[in-house]
Structure 1
């Protein structure tokens, strides 16, 4: 049986005069990868940022592990066990990979304060983090920066990762490595809410799907059922998934 981890009910978000989310509601189960799919501008990133408290919900309820998180600060939400990997990765380019990791470890003032067993596990998931440990993060390739961003999000144990388009602009080999890392994260007990335009990657890793269109959720269900329906993909994504 699955266990509910994240629940959005009738969530509305306004940004200035714009009503972006218009009653969004869906669920993400524990220890599963939930895909949030939709066209550009449909409200995917706004949904992630609203969950994280970066943009306030103007109406509705968001609960995480049974706790209502609407109105809480981003730092409070983070401490509850949610990490966010934004589309722009959010790394500090002038700092080394090591310094980026250290900043994300709240209770560590030096690298030796970080759980070394967890750090070794992160190096196994993302070898580039270890390889470029002392290099300025801004000097890395796009794929390497993405690995640093994801590694930084899990330097401390997290129950839920919000990941926004990790494969964007990356070479196929790097995308495959990213998929493998996400599946290993799920095996370790983490849950993921993933925004992803690459439907091949989404099909490879996803367990469940929520499709958003014009600020509203128009479909939820198992990923394999969603990807078997070309009509659904064409209508709401403008795409079809080749077999």
Structure 2
């Protein structure tokens, strides 16, 4: 697999705080790359820095060989990168349909693409003309991911999509992301649900104190309880 995204020595400051302290990260093209780490380790800041929402103060970010470190967010999005934030970022006063129209280029949604999204997330079709603010937490998360992929994307950054969701909804979200990963879209997933992360991820990076402290195959990390304990202070087996 060739590398689709690379971060080399990336630092990010937010006001007086030095959050990212030399992040080196590689995301292979295809499938799911998972980023793990304790709360406050810098995972969300990494995603936001990749997306240009927060500027890197040092280092280089390359997407498919192109330096995107100093590009603004709209330019990064036009290269085929989408971001699903932890807070979902949907417009609660608008309908599901209106949310999707706003996410589509020129407001035009291809029927075949929409049918594919409805197959991934059936509730969106059911509540198509309902106000997004009236959806359940799981349905809002489905809408957030659907907005990000209403256009074909080469890379989607997803920040903790199962946070606060019921087990049945987590199962549905996991299945949908697995289907998305079979397409030409690469996923960089930040996730605290380790059972989900293990089931989806081919590669894994572990972040601590603003740095990547481990990178490798997810299967190898999942099989090594001692390494899990060393890196994260807990075992994946505790989250089955």
TM-score range, shorter chain: over 0.9
Aligned to 1:31: 30
Instruction: Write the distance in 1 (CA, Å) between the matches of 2:224 and 2:40.
Output: 22
| Length-normalised TM-score, structure 1 | 0.96
Structure 1 residue 153 and structure 2 residue 152: aligned?
Answer: no
* Counterpart pick for 1:177 among 154, 166, 172: 172
Distance in 2 (CA, whole Å) between partners of 1:196 and 1:206 is 10
SS in structure 1 of the partner of residue 144 of structure 2: helix
Does the 8 Å CA contact 2:10/2:60 hold for their aligned counterparts? yes
The Cα offsets for residues 81-117 of structure 1, whole Å up to 9 and x where unpaired, read as 0000000000000000000000000222xxxx31110
Residue 91 of structure 2 corresponds to residue 89 of structure 1: no
8 Å CA contact 1:160–1:190 kept in 2: the answer is yes
Displacement after TM superposition at 1:150 (Å): 0.3
**In the alignment, is residue 119 of structure 1 matched against residue 114 of structure 2?**
yes
CA RMSD of aligned residues (A): 0.9
What is the CA–CA distance in structure 1 between the aligned matches of 2:26 and 2:105, rounded to whole Å?
29
Post-superposition offset of 1:230:
1.7
Aligned length: 238
Residue 236 of structure 2 aligns to a residue whose secondary structure is: coil
Aligned to 1:229: 224
Residue number in structure 2 paired with 1:201: 196
Matches within 5 A, 1:1-12: 2-12=1-11
Distance 1:154 1:192 in 2: 11
Give the C-alpha shift of residue 228 in structure 1.
1.5
Deviation per residue, 1:51-83 (Å, 9 max, x gap) = 000000000000001111011110000000000
What is the alpha-carbon distance in structure 2 between the residues aligned to residue 45 and residue 231 of structure 1?
26
1:140 equivalent to 2:135? Answer: yes
Runs of 4+ in 1 over 3 A off after TM superposition: none
Q: Indicate conservation of the 8 Å contact 2:154/2:184, yes or no.
A: yes
Q: Is 1:39–1:236's contact at 8 Å kept on the other side of the alignment?
A: no
Match of 1:57 in 2: 56
Offset, 1:235: 2.5
Q: Alpha-carbon deviation of 1:140? A: 0.5
- Once residues 116 and 198 of structure 1 are traced to their aligned partners in structure 2, the CA distance between those partners, rounded to angstroms, is 33
Report the CA distance between 1:236 and its aligned residue.
2.6
- Between the aligned partners of 2:94 and 2:196, the Cα distance in structure 1 is 30
Say which SS state the counterpart of residue 239 (structure 1) adopts. Answer: coil
CA drift at 1:232: 2.4
Indicate the SS of the match to 2:105: coil
Contact residue 31 and residue 182 of structure 2 kept, 8 A = no
